[in-house]
């Protein structure tokens, strides 16, 4: 292993890893080295560009805290998060499809009973949500845990709303024997992904928009079923075709129907126009279940 050249160095690195005991690790590292070297050769990476890349990744790491995961955000905007999800969760078209989890899920969310108001008193268009969880045959899934979280009318999650100390616009519900759960909140708005770090620099250098279409996140779990991490977008949102994290799927678009206070299924419950969002979630069984 001496006098290596740009032609022989890839094979030399591969041969140093020949004794790797874990075959999957050997496969992943081998492929990584081959693709990384091929990339460096293809673009003829200069020393200056290599140093810039190292600096970018160093700053990405320094930006990470328990509340801010810049590496996952980088994976999101490069399409890697949704690619890994697509490979790991091939579901039939009738089943509810996944989308990105994102950084705003919180473990310390409250458990609420059916129909609860989770708006935390924040201003916005009232939103009524009616969900149903069923299996592939359409039978109700009782006792499923349905986590929901979403932004406010300005596109802020609770931890970003000035003066908001308690969890709001998030909760976990249990489905009843008919698979039903429901809640009241406020209608979410579109918002930008965090742009004040290295990922923001990358987005601006590539003239990409930070704006995500509005959505309500859901994470649904039930024993014997695959976990669904998903979100529902208004079908007329202006940002559907430029989602910076590639999370939009046609099957996850929903009419966010808006009614006058004296009209529609929730008439009389508000004195201002309201939005009603209804959705059935179809769970796939776990392999072997
Ligand atoms: C979100 O929808 O909460 C989100 C997803 C990926 C990156 C940033 C935000
Ligand atoms: Fe979100």
List, in order, residues 6 or more apart from 173 with CB less than 8 Å away.
111, 112, 113, 114, 116, 131, 145, 146, 148, 181, 182, 183
Q: Could you report the per-residue pLDDT of 195-247, keeping only the tens digit for each?
A: 999 999 999 999 999 999 999 999 999 999 999 999 999 999 999 999 999 99
Ligand nearest to the CA of 169: 2
Distance 193 CA to ligand 1 centre (A): 6
**Pocket of ligand 1 contains residue 102 by CB under 6 Å:** yes
Angle of helix 198-205 relative to helix 70-77, nearest 10 degrees, comes to: 20
**Pocket of ligand 1 contains residue 248 by CB under 6 Å:** no
Assess whether 50 and 184 both reside in one domain.
Answer: no
| Domain assignment present for 91 | yes
Q: What is the mean pLDDT of residues 50-68?
A: 97
Spatial distance between the Cα atoms of 120 and 169, rounded to a whole number of angstroms: 7
Q: Please give the pLDDT value at position 145.
A: 98
Spatial distance between the Cα atoms of 53 and 59, rounded to a whole number of angstroms: 10
Q: Could you report the per-residue pLDDT of 14-35, keeping only the tens digit for each?
A: 999 999 999 999 999 999 999 9
* Count of CB atoms situated within 10 Å of the CB of 9: 14
Strand locations in 7-125 (E)? none
Distance 215 CA to ligand 2 centre (A): 6
274, β-bridge pairs: 259
Q: What's the DSSP call for residue 213?
A: P
| Domain assignment present for 2 | no
| Domain assignment present for 142 | yes
What percentage of the chain has pLDDT greater than the value 70?
A: 100
**Number of residues that this document lists for the chain:** 289
Say how many domains are in the chain: 2
**Pocket of ligand 1 contains residue 100 by CB under 6 Å:** yes
Spatial distance between the Cα atoms of 184 and 2, rounded to a whole number of angstroms: 69
Assess whether 200 and 58 both reside in one domain.
Answer: no
**Pocket of ligand 1 contains residue 95 by CB under 6 Å:** no
Q: Which domain range does residue 26 map to?
A: 9-67
The kind and range of the H/E element at 108 are none
Assess whether 163 and 250 both reside in one domain.
Answer: yes
- Asked if residues 187 and 124 have their Cβ atoms less than 8 Å apart, the reply is yes
């Amino acid at each position: 292993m001496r006098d290596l050249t740009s032609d022989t160095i890839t094979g030399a690195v591969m041969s140093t890893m020949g004794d790797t005991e874990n075959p999957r690790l050997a496969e992943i590292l081998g492929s990584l080295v081959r693709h990384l070297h091929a990339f460096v050769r293809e673009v003829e990476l200069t020393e200056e560009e290599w140093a810039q890349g190292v600096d970018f990744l160093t700053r990405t790491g320094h930006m990470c805290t328990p509340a801010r995961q810049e590496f996952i955000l980088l994976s999101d905007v490069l399409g890697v998060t949704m690619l890994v999800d697509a490979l790991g969760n091939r579901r039939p078209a009738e089943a509810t499809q996944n989308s990105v989890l994102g950084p705003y899920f919180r473990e310390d969310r409250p458990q609420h009973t059916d129909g609860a108001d989770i708006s935390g008193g924040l201003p916005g268009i009232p939103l009524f949500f009616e969900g149903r969880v069923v299996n592939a045959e359409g039978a109700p899934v009782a006792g499923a845990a349905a986590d929901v979280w979403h932004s406010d009318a300005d596109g802020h999650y609770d931890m970003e709303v000035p003066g908001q100390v308690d969890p709001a616009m998030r909760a976990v519900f249990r489905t009843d024997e008919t698979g039903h759960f429901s809640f009241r909140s406020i209608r979410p708005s579109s918002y930008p992904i965090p742009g004040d770090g290295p990922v923001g620099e990358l987005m601006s250098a590539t003239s990409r928009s930070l704006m995500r279409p509005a959505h309500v996140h859901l994470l649904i779990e039930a024993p014997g079923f695959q976990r669904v991490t998903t979100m529902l977008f208004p079908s007329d949102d202006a940002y559907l075709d430029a989602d910076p994290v590639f999370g939009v799927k046609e099957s996850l678009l929903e009419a966010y129907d808006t009614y006058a206070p004296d009209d529609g299924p929730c008439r009389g419950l508000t004195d201002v126009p309201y939005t009603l969002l209804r959705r059935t979630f179809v769970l796939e069984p776990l392999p072997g279940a």
